[in-house]
Amino acid sequence: MGTPAVILTKKEGYSPEKLLADSIVAAFHAGVTLYFHNNQQYDEKGHFSYTTLNINERPFNDSSNSSFLFYIHSKKSSSIDFYYHEDLGLNTELELSQVGHIEDIYGVQKLIFIFIYEYLRVNPNDLFWITDYDWIYTWEDMQKLKTLPYDPDWCYKDPKLLPK
């Protein structure tokens, strides 16, 4: 199993439809390829559970293509529950959901960087969290990283330690 990552957003404002729309806009601005087959998954009661997007660096038929799956869960999915405020130094009063799940960041760090940069540009109050680490990336962190030479290990480094 690889290293997963998620987007953190305010629970009250979360909508799978908005995440889907914002992901399409982010992919467009990032200049990446997004495949959406509308393959919706449902729970045993017939309620929407999740769908996936495939985000690719280049067209799907390119053999040197890097890609990742991006999961969009329903509002009622237990997969979006977030309990790690203290681990990440976040206000415990802040009601957050973990959405936009990425299964594994390894090998697709650059693709994730350009996609998350554009996603956070559209949603500057959301956060990006690589779940094996005790820090988050804000829109401001991503802006700062964008001004530096690209580092393929950017997502394994605490953004608080970025050069001023």
Percent of all residues in the chain with a pLDDT value above 90, rounded to a whole number: 80
Residue 61's pLDDT is 60
Q: How confident is the model at residue 11 (pLDDT cuts 50, 70, 90)?
A: very high
Residue among 164, 85, 93 nearest 129 (CA): 85
Cα-Cα end-to-end distance for the chain: 35
Residue span of the structural domain in which 114 resides: 5-161
Domain count within the chain: 1
Tens digit of each residue's pLDDT (9 = 90 or more) over 137-154: 999 999 999 999 999 999
Query: Strands, E, within the chain: which ranges?
Result: 5-10, 33-35, 41-42, 48-56, 67-73, 96-102, 127-130, 136-137
Residue 102's pLDDT is 97
To the nearest 10°, report the CA torsion of 147, 150, 154, 158.
-30
Residue 105's pLDDT is 95
Length in residues, the chain? 164
Residue among 87, 146, 96 nearest 116 (CA): 146
Tens digit of each residue's pLDDT (9 = 90 or more) over 87-132: 999 999 999 999 999 999 999 999 999 999 999 999 999 999 999 9
Residue among 112, 137, 127, 120 nearest 53 (CA): 112
Q: Which residue has the higher pLDDT, 1 or 91?
A: 91
Residue 59's pLDDT is 63
> Does the pLDDT at position 41 exceed 80?
yes
Residue 117's pLDDT is 99
CA pair distance 14, 96, nearest whole angstrom: 9
H helical segments located in the chain: 16-30, 85-88, 109-122, 139-147
Mean pLDDT of 61-85: 87
Residue 44's pLDDT is 84
